[in-house]
Structure 1
Amino acid sequence: MSKRRLSSPRLFSVKSNDSNSIDDVEFSPLKNKDAHVKIPSIFFEDGMSLLKVSSKSKKRIYFHIDPQTWMFIWNVANKSINPSILPVLNIQKLFTTTTIASKKLQKFTIDDVKKVLYQQEARHFRDELNISQEFENQWITISYFNATKKKMKTLHLIADTEVDAKRFFSTINNLKKLRAQLSDKFYIDLDNMDEEQKELVMMNSTSSPSKPQKEYLSFDDIVKYIARLNINISRNHLRTIFDSLDFKTVVNDVRVINFEEFKEFIALLKRRDDIDHIWDQICGASGASKEMDFRSFKKFISKVQGENFDDETNDKLFYKFCNDTNQWTTESLNQFLLSKYSKPIIEGSHDDDYYNQPLNEYYISSSHNTYLTGRQVADDSSSEGYVKTLQKGCRCVEIDIWDGDNMVTDVEPVVCHGRSFTTSISLRNVLTTIKRYAFVASSFPLILSLEINCSPEAQLQTRNLLLEILGELLVIQPLKGVALLPSPNDLKFKIILKIKKTTPHHLVLTETGSLTSSTASTSFSEDNGSTTSSTSNLSSGKKRKKKQVIDDLSDLAVYVQGQKFRNFSLPESKTFNHCFSLSEKTIDLMLKDETKQKSVDKHNRKFFMRVYPSSMRLRSSNFIPISYWTHGVQMAATNWQTYDLGQQINEALFDGKDKVGYFLKPKDFRKPLVKHTMRNILHLEEKRIKFNITIISAHQLPKPKNKDTVGINPFVKLDVIGARDIHYDNGSAVNQTSIVAENGFNPTWNESFSGTMVANQLLFLKLSLRTMVSKDNDLLLGVFVCRLENLKGGYRYLPLNDALGEELIYSSLLVHIAYDKA
């Protein structure tokens, strides 16, 4: 492979061993010489040789980094590789066939990279792919957005040596940190540059480090400079700013600017008219005062922001952001609004009694088909699904258990979406991953919803794996022997199982492979409460639509025992620990019938119900969970791999205080029913709410991932979900703001949505930042969804997620929020 060298960006200092070749590229932000990233020369010459591992193949690739664009590029080796000549650490043992030749280049940018896992952090992936632990120190996994396939992908790599692995991880991780720093500090501080740094800015963008500096910059030079900074702003807008300068120099009939004029250009680009406007609102319409004293600051915090900080906190915050004269400026205000002290979502902890109610009195953050990475028909299964949901605080995950391939007694069960083209993963690896991540985000109980589709032999293996791997974390006996549901506080750091009870008999697997019913032991479940013997004999070899679950396994579910729904009057619907699992199609039919709807509402005050998406949702889309929360359903299980409106609302409900996956149902859904009051308390109390939401500005918006667009033409769309009635004021924006043409860097609106609406506690707001790409077509840039009562008032920067639910860490939406009960 021929060597190639890529030019380095002049935004940074570039160091090399001699003037004729670049051995390593070293990035140093002009603001801070000490913060730098060194890119080993191998990444922009031959490329680092790595082994790419997937469930289907193992291939030798070469990984490159373009230091000018921060583009990552990799391609499969052009020649087939003989496993015997692979280098150190016995890496040839990983090959079963030679590498397939390919010249196709795969590319993604630094902004596409969402996560980089290294060594032990990526153990669940290595285990899932059955790679020996001896390669753990050489393992790197990159999660990134694949623009071609328009989905998140993972790249699993094994370096030839531990040293190479460390170089690879450090380079990419440090580039991500530098990208974040540059975004946070707006890339460059021109006022504190020394002569050497000044030269770097004034160099031609494609010149070598040894080329003499340019005395002037043309407009084209500036456009290249802005593009390198990944600022999404149109050429026309840049031209407007450029032309507003007082030009004094023309070279070869081209107007140019010197370094001092370039500083003026950057100042105009960075100017925050929106913050100046907020300052005027706070300090007076005249804006005469450009400083805020401590007294004015306290008034702003309490009256405008609605915060109730104590005197000590106010004191610390004021002096943390004040200037040298102990006053606040517009920059102080902006830095405070951007800080962790001004987050838009209400935080803190609930009182001690909040988590002391029985489990059935809570909404529980729940996942459906947790193991899937995409569609339920033909996408992959991965333990990463459990990692992501548990890290976000999910408290009920699903495990579909099937017989392993070519099932024999020594082959363990697998997890997959049965009777489809999805891949499978080892149940052992899934349970190991769950154990590792179960309580990283929440200490409250985790529910494993097991869907048993395997043979009796595999069910016994499942039981043994649960006990072996989860051990003392499992609750398999009632606390204190009492037949009552415990509280979340009672079950901290514990795992409970939801397993379906399919037979009224106590089934035992015999040595011959048949199922025999015997005297049932005493249980809290009335389905298993018979003490009479039976002699029925069921062959395990018969084909059945649904596998029967042996009691050795189902008896582990002491607090959430699945029961097939028949009706609400039978004995099984009265056992304290039963749970009915209904598809959305089934419960939707029930809710259309007034009598059945009342039965659902009554049942869910005391007992568990889980609702899951219809099997007709082939693309793993989601229902709107509010439809079932308003009828007391505790576990509205959504497809977390699909970040549509249903999933956005599901996450938003639990994104308030504590963020632990348990949300106490409103009192109206927990009150004991009395016949003469039943009709009046079936529905949540509604209130009339006045609201005023001002969309001020947005910042550093990304280009759409799935569309090549010349410029960004953003607007903001408001959706209110859960309101029964909404009326906008005269003069209010309705549904969406106006469009700002060709500005994805700092578009400003200052437009308000105001009016009144009638709603209950389950009211959600969705603000979508979109861009017009044609007259009749727009694309999503970012979205923010929250429950209204979780949202703080005042001026707030709202974080944005992309279409896949990943946070856009460089982008934000500045708003002013005001609402109250009318």
Structure 2
Amino acid sequence: MASLMQGRLPISEDLLLMQKGTLMRKVRSKSWKKLRYFRLQDDGMTVWHARQAGSTAKPTFSISDVESVREGQESELLRSLAEELPLEQGFTIVFHGRRSNLDLVANSAEEAKIWMQGLQLLVDFVTGMDQQERLDQWLSDWFQRGDKNQDGRMSFHEVQRLLHLMNVKMDQEYAFQLFQAADTSESGTLEGEEFVEFYKALTKRTEVQELFENFSADGQKLTLLEFVDFLQEEQKEGERASDLALELIDRYEPSDSGKLRHVLSMDGFLNYLCSKDGDIFNPTCLPVYQDMTQPLNHYYINSSHNTYLVGDQLYGHSSVEGYIRALKRGCRCVEVDIWDGPNGEPIVYHGHTLTSRIPFKDVVATVAQYAFQTSDYPVILSLENHCSWEQQQVMAYHLTEILGEQLLSTTLDGLLPTQLPSPEELRRKILVKGKKLRTLEEDLEEEEEEEELECELETEQEADTELEAHLESVSQELSPRSKDKKKEKKSKPILCPSLSALVVYLKSVSFHSFTHSREHYRFYETSSFSEAKARSLIKEAGNEFVQHNAWQLSRVYPSGLRTDSSNYNPQELWNAGCQMVAMNVQTAGLEMDICDGFFRQNGGCGYVLKPDFLRDAQSSFHPERPISPFKAQTLLIQIISGQQLPKEDTSKERSIVDPLVRVEIFGVRPDKSRQETSYVENNGFNPYWGQTLSFQVLVPQLALLRFVVEDYNRKSRNDFIGQYTVPWSCMQQGYRHVHLLSKDGISLHPASIFVHISIREGPEGDES
């Protein structure tokens, strides 16, 4: 089986050395450092480890789990051990999702380089895999697990055990028939290609075959016209169906003769249905497709709360890793809690708790490095400043020096704006959100006066100290801050002017009431709300909140009682137009599924344009009581079948899942609902439901769908299997696959559910 992948693997000296194995030090903490023998398996796709060469090995990770590989000096943990373990011999393996990094230290810099280069080569290879190659890799992984004695072949007994692991309960006689049919060499075992044939027989999709035959005159192929009919009638592709059919045949038909004749075989049809084009998530919503030239307050902004924490709020670990993960997953607003630290250096941690601490300058350096790796659109640093005057000056210095040109320290054109700039205008800029001593008008006025005085100096070309003193006094007389400066000599204000000056478009102000904000605040002033305060405002004055958010930015943050770093549902805050709904992104669950699913659209750039009725300062929309002119829609979802559903707990070798599918709608309160199918007993491999669920949605522009697959349990809570969340506006109609994700949002490929989606205008039963 390994040969399937080996035939396609890149050839590299590094990989050959990794396959021989290397003794390295695995580092978990300052006190936990143990020698382990790591070896890249022959398939080139998995790394196993053992206590020493020759002892029993077990899987450590699959290459598809790896997001990136970093050098030793980029690891917080390895840097803290630099005196003991040479940094050039260390490296970090970073995994997708929330899995902890793996820090390793080799015996030499050369060995470390071999593993770093080799792993990166394999990660790049996996990233570039097509659908078939990904399936081959998945099969190769299973073959490795099923081949108990690692002899490259599988007996029927090993196949039976593997079927259990793969969630298949099958009649033993039927399984043996398939086994014998696949064993073309008649050796009594299955080798690589034979196992693939066995798998194909096992995964025959009768429901797809029937669909194919419904549109195919001869049951063997879909002609171009037949495929166009399918795309128009079922997939609702409209006028573009003819051009699209040619494109899809060229992309997914495996045979060259089929491509030439413009026909689609059953294999090509299945390839299309399982592809991005056949996905429930509309591929046109995947790149940046929205207007990015509107003011910042017209967008939802992917926001993180207590970004430095990778655990709970009381004892959790503070780490720059929190910022790296948040920024790489598309967060555009990150929070920094800053307190006075030792040696005059500010530190970041959750104040008055036992969470660990990190230097502020390390956080700023991390933001500078990772801010624009995922998205070019602006990053907002939301500062919670608890520092003394002196350490605020240090903060301002670090922000200015480390961020350099990335930092926005004055308005874009030096002039007073009449509205917030757009994400497009602020590309690759980092904005500071925080308290400010004065208004933007006063800042710009002073800058202008200072420029005029500098011009006078240049013209006269005199560096005479008396003249300098005179000009300074003139400057103070002209400046509206002159009176403040006299006071400053007596008592320093709480906020340091150099830090205050770095806050431009995002001045933090206290919220008193919507009327007070309208009468006293400017469009560049922003208020923060606790989740409880925001919820009560939505109930008491939902329409006013919508109007407020049409001209000013709002940030909502989780309750201080959420010491476990749990989350609220962001949807109800988005319904009122709140832009920065901050989440504890380190905590997986329903709420983060909604957040991730929503921000998956628009290129994952971290900005999503609000619907027009939430951008209108005179909007009549009330999130709690939505009324016309919103056009209700009816959604019919047929849950057809499931494919290769995993077990959450693979240690339960004997149990096979009893899967059910739940569909949940999130949106305005009247739209919130959930329905589920019955469960299928003992089949996680190819369960069939064939059940239709129906939903009525009043405000589709604000709705999201979440699919959840669970393992039914009579005696206790159902076990989670997988989920997928999609915004209503990004959903494709017709026969679609929903490719499932884990709790951490990682692909569970090839696990999916096959559905049919139909959307009708108007409420159920309304045919008008």
TM-score, length basis structure 1: 0.74
CA contact (8 A) 2:640 2:754 kept: yes
CA contact (8 A) 2:407 2:431 kept: yes
Flag structure 2 segments of 5+ consecutive residues without an equivalent: 182-186, 444-474, 763-768
Partner of 1:391: 328
Partner of 1:320: 251
Partner of 1:63: 37
The whole-number CA distance in structure 2 between the counterparts of 1:438 and 1:289 is 53
2:102 equivalent to 1:152? no
Change (3 A) 1:293 1:139: farther
Counterparts of 1:393-472 in structure 2, within 5 Å, are 393-404=330-341, 407-409=342-344, 412-472=345-405
CA contact (8 A) 1:29 1:187 kept: no
Partner of 1:49: 23
CA contact (8 A) 1:71 1:110 kept: yes
Provide the secondary structure at the position in 2 that maps to 1:479.
coil
The whole-number CA distance in structure 2 between the counterparts of 1:124 and 1:156 is 8
Q: Give the superposition deviation at 1:763.
A: 0.6
Q: Give the superposition deviation at 1:182.
A: 6.3
TM-score, length basis structure 2: 0.79
The whole-number CA distance in structure 2 between the counterparts of 1:207 and 1:678 is 64
CA contact (8 A) 2:575 2:623 kept: no
Q: Give the superposition deviation at 1:74.
A: 5.5
CA contact (8 A) 1:796 1:814 kept: yes
CA contact (8 A) 1:52 1:155 kept: yes
Bigger mean CA deviation after superposition, 33-42 or 438-447: 33-42
The whole-number CA distance in structure 2 between the counterparts of 1:351 and 1:618 is 36
Q: Give the superposition deviation at 1:794.
A: 1.9
Partner of 1:618: 563
Q: Give the superposition deviation at 1:329.
A: 1.4
Q: Give the superposition deviation at 1:153.
A: 1.6
CA contact (8 A) 2:296 2:423 kept: yes
Q: Give the superposition deviation at 1:612.
A: 0.3
Q: Give the superposition deviation at 1:297.
A: 1.9
Partner of 1:206: 149
Q: Give the superposition deviation at 1:583.
A: 0.9
Change (3 A) 1:262 1:443: closer
- More RCO (CA 8 Å, sep 6+): 2
Q: Give the superposition deviation at 1:470.
A: 0.8
Partner of 1:140: 91
Counterparts of 1:119-268 in structure 2, within 5 Å, are 119-120=70-71, 123=74, 125=76, 129=80, 131=82, 138-143=89-94, 152-169=99-116, 183-185=134-136, 206=149, 219-224=156-161, 232-234=166-168, 236-237=169-170, 239=172, 241-244=174-177, 265-268=198-201
Change (3 A) 1:443 1:172: closer
CA contact (8 A) 2:272 2:278 kept: yes
Partner of 1:781: 721
Q: Alpha-carbon deviations, 1:79-101, whole Å to 9, x = none?
A: xxxxxxxxxxxxxxxxxxxxxxx
The whole-number CA distance in structure 2 between the counterparts of 1:204 and 1:108 is 13
Change (3 A) 1:328 1:536: closer
CA contact (8 A) 2:215 2:227 kept: no
2:221 counterpart letter in structure 1: E
2:513 equivalent to 1:561? no
The match for 1:708 among 632, 646, 652 is 652
Change (3 A) 1:556 1:186: closer
The match for 1:72 among 48, 55, 58 is 48
Q: Give the superposition deviation at 1:306.
A: 2.8
Partner of 2:634: 690
The match for 2:421 among 486, 494, 512 is 486
The whole-number CA distance in structure 1 between the counterparts of 2:39 and 2:726 is 38
Flag structure 1 segments of 5+ consecutive residues without an equivalent: 1-10, 13-27, 78-102, 190-199, 249-254, 508-518, 541-546, 729-733
RMSD: 4.5
Q: Give the superposition deviation at 1:693.
A: 1.3
The whole-number CA distance in structure 2 between the counterparts of 1:478 and 1:414 is 29
Partner of 1:800: 740
The whole-number CA distance in structure 2 between the counterparts of 1:450 and 1:736 is 44
CA contact (8 A) 2:85 2:105 kept: no
CA contact (8 A) 2:437 2:497 kept: no
The whole-number CA distance in structure 1 between the counterparts of 2:572 and 2:656 is 39
1:233 counterpart letter in structure 2: N
Partner of 2:292: 355
The whole-number CA distance in structure 2 between the counterparts of 1:207 and 1:602 is 66
1:56 counterpart letter in structure 2: K
1:560 counterpart letter in structure 2: L
Change (3 A) 1:747 1:495: same
Bigger mean CA deviation after superposition, 773-782 or 349-358: 349-358
CA contact (8 A) 1:766 1:783 kept: yes
The whole-number CA distance in structure 1 between the counterparts of 2:647 and 2:179 is 32
Bigger mean CA deviation after superposition, 115-124 or 362-371: 115-124
2:761 equivalent to 1:821? yes
The whole-number CA distance in structure 2 between the counterparts of 1:659 and 1:262 is 38
1:704 counterpart letter in structure 2: E
Q: Give the superposition deviation at 1:723.
A: 5.2
Q: Give the superposition deviation at 1:131.
A: 4.4
The whole-number CA distance in structure 2 between the counterparts of 1:489 and 1:174 is 34
Partner of 2:432: 497
2:692 equivalent to 1:759? no
Q: Give the superposition deviation at 1:48.
A: 3.0
Q: Give the superposition deviation at 1:724.
A: 4.6
Change (3 A) 1:469 1:265: closer
Change (3 A) 1:653 1:38: same
1:692 counterpart letter in structure 2: L
Change (3 A) 1:158 1:246: closer
The match for 2:4 among 16, 29, 42 is 29
The whole-number CA distance in structure 2 between the counterparts of 1:418 and 1:433 is 21
2:659 equivalent to 1:719? no
2:213 equivalent to 1:291? no
Change (3 A) 1:106 1:353: closer
The whole-number CA distance in structure 1 between the counterparts of 2:409 and 2:326 is 24
2:346 equivalent to 1:346? no
Q: Give the superposition deviation at 1:362.
A: 1.7
The whole-number CA distance in structure 2 between the counterparts of 1:225 and 1:679 is 55
2:532 equivalent to 1:585? yes
Partner of 1:114: 65
The whole-number CA distance in structure 2 between the counterparts of 1:705 and 1:188 is 19
Bigger mean CA deviation after superposition, 335-344 or 441-450: 335-344
The whole-number CA distance in structure 1 between the counterparts of 2:126 and 2:576 is 49
